[in-house]
Amino acid sequence: MKDTTLTHNNTQKVAIIGAGASGIFCAITLLQHNIPVMLFDKNKNLGKKLLATGNGRCNIHNQNTHANHYQTSSFNPKTIQNILQNFSFKTFAKTCQNLGIALEIQEDSKVYPLANSAKSVLEVFEDLLKNSKNLEMYLESEILELHKTQENFLLKSCAGEFICSCVVLACGSEAAPKLGGSDKGLQLAKNLGLKVIPTYPTLVPLMVESKLTNHLKGVKIKAKLTLKKDNQILKTLTDDVLFTDYGISGFGVLDISTHIKLQKDLKIILDFVPFLEEKVLENQLATLIKTYPNRKTSTLLSGFLHPKIAKAFAQNITWNPKNTKQLKQFVFGLKNFELTNPTLKGFENAEVSGGGVSGEEVNPNTLESKKHKNLYVIGEMLDVVGERGGYNLAFAWASAHICSKAILDTFK
Ligand SMILES: Cc1cc2nc3c(=O)[nH]c(=O)nc-3n(C[C@H](O)[C@H](O)[C@H](O)COP(=O)(O)OP(=O)(O)OC[C@H]3O[C@@H](n4cnc5c(N)ncnc54)[C@H](O)[C@@H]3O)c2cc1C
C-alpha cells in the first residue's frame, strides 16, 4: 500500500487508539515530554469505562500489586512482575501527586482517589490533555482498519485516513459493551498477524440452575464458595453472594469467576453458615430442637441463616428426634450445597476479559510488537487479567508507562 493516497500525513506523531485508562495515561506521559499525539476513541467521551470503576469511586490501584494477582496463559509471570515493578505503586502515587490527584490507601490495601470519585480523576486527566498544544483528539472516531505500510502505519476511520510512524493499541476488551467495550482492537491486532489468545468474560456473575437460588432472588449473604473440578478444589473463598433470577452474583462470585475461565463441568459448593463448624452447628441445633420442641423449623434456622434461606431449607424437613442421622445430613447440606455447571454470564455483565494479545507477540521490556516495529499493545488488550481490587487499573497504568518510556527513547 502506498502512502501517497492518504489525506493526513502524521509520521512524526504517535497515534493512540483508545482513550481509556491506558491510552489516556500513555498520552499524558508522551505529551509531558512534548511528543505530538493523536488520540482516537470511538466513544463520544473519553474514559467512559474509567468513570464506572469502583462503582464510580475508582479503585485506582492496589498497594500490594504482584504477578500473583494476575492470570495469563502466554506471559511469563516474571514479565508481569517486571512491568508492575517498573511502575510501582509508590511511583504511581508520586506521579498522581504531581498531576494533582491525591490518593487514599484503605486497610485492605485498595487505593482510591481521596476525592472518592472516578469523575475527579477523569477531570484532571482531561484538563492535562486539553491544555496540551501537542494533542489532536478524535472522539467518535473508531479506527476501522490498521495497515502496515512500508515505513509507517495507515489508520482508517470515519474521520479520515492517517499515516503515523508509531501506533499504540489501547482498545481495551469486550467486557461491558455499554461502556464502550468491544473486540475491535483485537481484530485490528489479528489483521496485523498478531496471535490472540481466546477471550472470556471474567469478574462476572454466574448462571446456575437451581430451584433454591430462584427462591432467594435479592438475598445477599456472606458465604463460603468452593470451586471444584472432578473433586479437585480450584479455589475457596468467603465473601458476599447475591442471589439473582439467573444465578449468583456479588463480590465472592465475581472473584471465583476468575478461576472458571473457559472450563466446563465445574461445581460450586456453597457453605451457607461459613462461620460455624459443622459439629458446632449440629450440636447447637440439637440443643435448640430439644429446648423448643414446638418452634417452627424456619424459626429455629433463622437464628443462623437469612430468614428466606431458613424458610427454603425448612420446607423439606420435619424433625424426627429418633433419627440421629437426619440432623447430621441436614447440617451437611447447609454447609455443602452443590451448584452444578456454573457458567459465566457474558461480556455484557463482566468487568474485564481474560485472553487477548499473546505475550509471545510483544517485547516484554517495551510491549512493542515483535512483528511490527513501532506498534505497541497496552492495557486490557493484552492477555493479562487482574483480580478485583485495583489490579486491572494498576496494569493499565504500568503497561502505559513501560510503552511510553520505550517510545520516548525512540524519539530522543
Ligand atoms: C463496571 C466496571 C468496574 C470496574 N472497576 C474497576 C476498579 O475499580 N478497579 C480496577 O482496577 N479495574 C476496574 N475495572 C476494569 C478497568 O476498568 C479496565 O481494566 C481498564 O479500564 C482497562 O483499561 P484499557 O485502557 O485497557 O481499556 P479501556 O479503559 O476499556 O479503554 C479502551 C478504549 O478504547 C476505545 N476503543 C476500542 N476500540 C476502538 C477503536 N477501534 N477505535 C477507537 N477507539 C476504540 C474504547 O471506546 C475505550 O474507550 C472495571 C471495569 C468495569 C466494566
Residue 272 has pLDDT above 70, yes or no: yes
Q: What separation in Å is there between the alpha carbon of 212 and the centre of ligand 1? A: 35
356 lines ligand 1 (CB under 6 A): no
How far is the C-alpha of 375 from the C-alpha of 148, rounded, in Å?
9
Max Cα-Cα span within the chain = 92
pLDDT at 4: 37
User: Which of 60, 69, 171 should be mutated for ligand 1, with most atoms under 8 A from CB?
Assistant: 171
- Averaged over 134-141, what is the pLDDT? 96
Residue 251 has pLDDT above 70, yes or no: yes
Q: What separation in Å is there between the alpha carbon of 19 and the centre of ligand 1? A: 9
pTM for this entry: 0.94
20 lines ligand 1 (CB under 6 A): yes
**Cα-based distances in Å from 305 to 199, 281, 297, 405:** 38, 11, 12, 54
User: Which of 29, 45, 46, 49 should be mutated for ligand 1, with most atoms under 8 A from CB?
Assistant: 49
The pLDDT-based confidence of 275 (bands split at 50, 70, 90) is: very high
Residue 7 has pLDDT above 60, yes or no: no
The pLDDT-based confidence of 316 (bands split at 50, 70, 90) is: confident
pLDDT in tens, 278-309: 999 999 999 999 999 899 999 999 999 999 99
Q: What separation in Å is there between the alpha carbon of 21 and the centre of ligand 1? A: 6
Which residue's CA is the nearest one to ligand 1's atom 35?
18
The dihedral of CA 379, 380, 386, 390: what is its sign?
A: positive
Residue 9 has pLDDT above 80, yes or no: no
Which residue's CA is the nearest one to ligand 1's atom 10?
390
Residue 10 has pLDDT above 80, yes or no: no
185 lines ligand 1 (CB under 6 A): yes
Which residue's CA is the nearest one to ligand 1's atom 27?
172
Domain 206-274+339-344, second-level architecture: Beta Barrel (2.40)
pLDDT at 3: 39
**Cα-based distances in Å from 57 to 90, 116, 394:** 20, 5, 15
pLDDT at 61: 98
388 lines ligand 1 (CB under 6 A): no
Return the SS3 of 402. helix
Q: What separation in Å is there between the alpha carbon of 46 and the centre of ligand 1? A: 10
User: Which of 393, 397, 403 should be mutated for ligand 1, with most atoms under 8 A from CB?
Assistant: 393
Measured from the Cα of 179, ligand 1's closest atom is 53
The dihedral of CA 38, 44, 45, 48: what is its sign?
A: negative
pLDDT at 158: 85
Mean confidence (pLDDT) of the chain: 94
21 lines ligand 1 (CB under 6 A): yes
pLDDT in tens, 334-350: 999 999 999 999 999 99
pLDDT in tens, 317-337: 777 767 778 999 999 999 999
Assigned CATH class of 14-201+352-411 = alpha beta
pLDDT at 162: 94
Measured from the Cα of 188, ligand 1's closest atom is 41
C-beta atoms surrounding 89 within 10 Å: 21
Which residue's CA is the nearest one to ligand 1's atom 38?
171
Q: What separation in Å is there between the alpha carbon of 61 and the centre of ligand 1? A: 14
pLDDT at 12: 82
